[in-house]
Amino acid sequence: MIRFEPREYVSTRRVIGAPVFAALIALALAAIPIWSAGADIATAYVLMVNGAIGSVFAISELLARATPLILTGLAAAVAFRAKLWNIGGEGQLYAGALAAVAVGSGSLALPSYALIPAVLVAGALAGAAVMLVPTLLKVKLGADEVVTTLLLNFVILLIVQMMLEGPMQDPMGMGWPQSEPVLEEAMLPQLIARMRVHAGLIVALLAAVFAAILMRRTVWGFEIRAVGANPSAARHAGIPVTATFVRVGLLSGAFAGLAGVGEVAGLKGYLTADLSPGFGYAGIVVAMLAGLSPLGVVIAAIFVAGVFVGADSMSRALGVSSYLADLVVAMSLLCVLISGLFVRYHVRIGGSRATD
């Protein structure tokens, strides 16, 4: 018989160790689909690891992929901490990208040191503005933000398509639905010459540090945690609950908007409607893997990016479907959620008396 006894005290080591262990188990479980696809398991793992961290190029790819995941992960993590369920990271990302193109593709003629901050600010503001709408609908009218943020994703994507086939279409694009290119002065610099990893990574890391400090060390963070854990006690204690939700919503949207800026002004150089392969949704997974800790988001994003990049390269080499990456990420999430059980409970097997 298996029994669960709640732990009264949970050590930090266990809190950190459990998800790492869970991720390793998920990676190990990936052997089953690899084997069923008929590939050699050992080769597949070697290829996966090589593809993720085997060379400077691989690491650059890994970090380039992790950059938007860190930002959308932060967007989910700060919002979820206040129990503001922002599922709209994808839409906010596209809003940020759209704003970056609008500002960075020729409408402002500024030198690089002014134009890059302008592009970043514009993207953050656009993401924040998109998240402001469902937040206000929630606090003023009680509209469920899970529904409104999710549906806004499709609204934003349609607006992006409209812009790309209308006012913002590249006249030199031969009719393709893509935007005018971002000016050279507005592009985020590469961190390694001729590699794709770009300064957006620095922005993402700074954002993570900022979020960590905000949540743990400031009055606003205190209020966010209080509102998230017990809104009625927070209100009773005089914490401005509505203002806190609005602050969290703006911040969350801004993080997701910055992710869009990075993709447009750091990688692609122009906007298309398939800019993001679901980074907004993957950010939710990243935040959950990280236990909503801002610094944990960085690690979780790198892990998820590593799985994607590694599995991509392995699948190209072995002809295994690249859906394997999605499978591993999904299994990691399941394993982490299950490992949460082991963090909070003693698990005892057998009916005999345990000596603890």
Give contact residues for another protein (rule: CB under 8 A): 1, 3, 5, 8-9, 217-220, 222-223, 225-226, 229-230, 232-240, 348, 351-354, 356
Task: State the residue for tokens 């002065």.
Answer: 185
C-beta of 218 vs 322, nearer to another protein: 218
User: In the complex, what is the shortest distance from the CB of residue 351 to another protein, in angstroms, rounded to a whole number?
Assistant: 5
Q: How many angstroms separate the CA atoms of 22 and 173, rounded?
A: 46
> Which of 217, 316 has the CB closer to another protein?
217
Q: What is the DSSP string of 252-270?
A: HHHHHHHHHHHIIIIIISS
CA distance 239 to 248: 14
Position of tokens 């970056």?
A: 100
Shortest separation between residue 205's beta carbon and another protein, angstroms: 21
Cβ of 114: how many Cβ atoms within 10 Å? 12
Residue linked to tokens 């993207």: 123
Of the pair 28, 229, the CB lying nearest another protein is at 229
Query: Do the beta carbons of residue 70 and residue 208 sit within 8 Å?
Result: yes
Answer for the pair 260, 130: CB distance below 8 angstroms, yes or no. no
Nearer to another protein by C-beta: 15 or 239? Answer: 239
Residue type, 251: L
> Of 186 and 214, which CB lies nearer to another protein in the complex structure?
214
Minimum CB distance to another protein, residue 288 (Å): 17
Residue 147 or residue 206: which is nearer to another protein going by CB? 206
Q: Give least dist CB 292 to another protein, A.
A: 12
Least distance to another protein, CB of residue 325, Å: 35
CB 250, min distance to another protein, A: 16
Structure tokens at 230: 């017990």
Report residue 255 CA to chain centroid gap: 9
Q: How far is Cα 94 from Cα 7, in angstroms, rounded to an integer? A: 43
Q: How far is the CB of 220 from another protein (least distance, A)?
A: 7
Q: How far is the CB of 348 from another protein (least distance, A)?
A: 7
Question: How does DSSP classify residue 180?
Answer: P
Closer of 268 and 348 to another protein (Cβ): 348
Cα→Cα distances 331→3, 33, 295, Å: 24, 12, 22
Q: How far is CA 318 from CA 32, 41, 313, 340, in A?
A: 15, 10, 9, 34
Q: Closer to another protein at the Cβ: 147 or 237?
A: 237
**Using alpha carbons only, what angle is made at residue 105 by residues 103 and 108, rounded to the nearest 5 degrees?**
50
Cβ-based neighbour number of residue 137 at 10 Å = 16
